[in-house]
Amino acid sequence: MSDSKYFPIDLPRDLSDLTKNFPEAAKEAVARITQERLAEGLWHAPAEIEFDPNNSEFIAYWLQKTRAPLRQALPGSGVEEQLEPFRKTRFELAPRDFKTDTEYRLSAVGDLMFAKNVEESRDRMYGPVEELIFGADFAFANLESTLTSGEVKEFAVAEKGDTPYINITPSQYGALVKHKGSQFDIVQLANNHILDCGDEGVATTTGHLARDGIEFVGVYASEAESRTVKCVPLGDLKIGWVAHTWSVNFKPVPEDKPWVCDITPFHLENDPDTTRIEQQIAQARAAGCDLVIVALHWGLEHEFYPHPDQLAWARRFAEAGADAIIGHHPHVIQFSEMYRTQRDPDITVPILYSLGNLTPAYSGPATVLSLVANLRIAKGQLRGKSRMLISGLELTPVVFLCEKEDGQDFASIVPLAKLNRLSLAPETRAYVGEINEFADLVLGNHWRESKA
């Protein structure tokens, strides 16, 4: 007999409905291409298909990945072998002879998007994970939902060539960024949905954040501000933040504000110019930042392994001076890497290629799973010299579910290890079993020992 109150959220398991407004001929073309490629034995592993919402082949491939996320790396890339050593959840990153004097904890989560039952779940949605996220000394998230003073648009694609809009109401915003008197300290706005409502949406979103005292990174209110780097205190340390997105979904950047958002066209160009990211890292160091964190909205959606190009880019940023790299956008969790730098063999840079969705827009078992990262930031002594280091990392898999109570449905974010200890209804148990498979793929099975 089940005594659990948790159930799969009542949302579609994939994004097939996004094309419901397409002309019949366009829908038929997508269905035909999908059938042909699967019959040819393709699309069970990543394919090099250019991101192009006008291309029926790309649309078909993208939708198929929402139904069956890819569990393999790009064939022949060697990525699986390179990342296999990091299928763990706990990492000690400081040199053995480092002596810690002061230590802080920084939590990081992936995408915050509009999601079912969020609005009515304020101050309870984060309950099972409040210590993991808001118990830290500093909390980061990617806010991938834009506030607007206009109409909140439907999450759908109006026509071929368009991309989905992700908007939220002020009430939904409050439930996403706040919890029982706590709130995220900084959110990333450089993501592919920040211009969904144009310049007005940017101004409305940043206005709400400013009023709430929440820092934001990757988007700027003025050209002068775009020439600065965000430096935020953490205890007696100063952390520099650099944030870029791979695109803004081809929405027009305001002609009079080309500086409004930091964009580096990862995945759109074979060799994107990453100079601005490297310059911002150096600028943060010059401004006296003790550590620099680079947050990147990048990666190929619904794939559990990063693209091989990302490994090269991430290592480039680590050698340029980044102390940690936090990634999101693929809507599933991805492997991580602990990269020991050549610039300083005492520094190991955690590269979190994707933390997934903390609050998802649909309910496939892969997309309701995300990671809460807890980074230990230490100030101490190393061989007689004062040093500031990322000294450790812990990753906790969590799940976005429906919590039923007194006839009402709420949203809840629950550690996966806790779910496995509960007596769940058969439907939920089967669903959680699928989620476990994805967690095992990326993390190994050590996470199952967690008492969270």
Mean pLDDT of 306-334: 98
The whole-angstrom distance between residue 410's C-alpha and the CA centroid of its chain comes to: 23
Report the 10 Å Cβ neighbour count for 433: 12
Q: Tokens 């956008």 identify what position?
A: 329
Please report which confidence band the pLDDT of residue 164 belongs to, taking 50, 70 and 90 as the band edges. confident
Structure tokens at 149: 């003073």
- Please report, rounded to a whole number, the percentage of residues in the chain having pLDDT higher than 90: 90
- Rounded to whole angstroms, the Cα distance separating 354 from 327 reads 5
Calculate Rg over the CA atoms of the chain: 21
3-state secondary structure of 351: strand
Give every CB contact of residue 300 below 8 A, 6+ residues apart in sequence: 46, 267, 306, 307, 330
Sign, CA torsion 81/82/83/87: positive
Q: Tokens 């118990």 identify what position?
A: 135
Mean pLDDT of 92-104: 97
CATH architecture group of domain 87-449? 4-Layer Sandwich (3.60)
pTM of the model: 0.96
β-sheet with 237-245: strand ranges across:
230-234, 237-245, 291-297, 324-328, 348-352, 336-340
Are 389 and 102 in contact by the 8 Å Cβ rule? The answer is: no
> Average per-residue pLDDT in the chain?
95
Of 68-72, 161-165, 351-355, the range with the lowest mean pLDDT is 161-165
- Rounded to whole angstroms, the Cα distance separating 406 from 441 reads 36
In the chain, domain spans: 16-67, 87-449
The whole-angstrom distance between residue 113's C-alpha and the CA centroid of its chain comes to: 10
Please report which confidence band the pLDDT of residue 1 belongs to, taking 50, 70 and 90 as the band edges. very low
Q: What is the pLDDT of residue 2?
A: 60
Q: What is the pLDDT of residues 388-447, one digit of tens each?
A: 999 999 999 999 999 999 999 999 999 999 999 999 999 999 999 999 999 999 999 877
The whole-angstrom distance between residue 99's C-alpha and the CA centroid of its chain comes to: 32
pLDDT of residue 450 exceeding 80, the answer is: no
- Please report, rounded to a whole number, the percentage of residues in the chain having pLDDT higher than 70: 98
Mean pLDDT of 298-326: 98
pLDDT of residue 257 exceeding 50, the answer is: yes
3-state secondary structure of 98: strand
pLDDT of residue 355 exceeding 70, the answer is: yes
Mean pLDDT of 139-147: 97
Mean pLDDT of 24-32: 93
Q: What is the pLDDT of residues 175-197, one digit of tens each?
A: 999 999 999 999 999 999 999 99
Mean pLDDT of 248-277: 96
- Rounded to whole angstroms, the Cα distance separating 369 from 437 reads 11
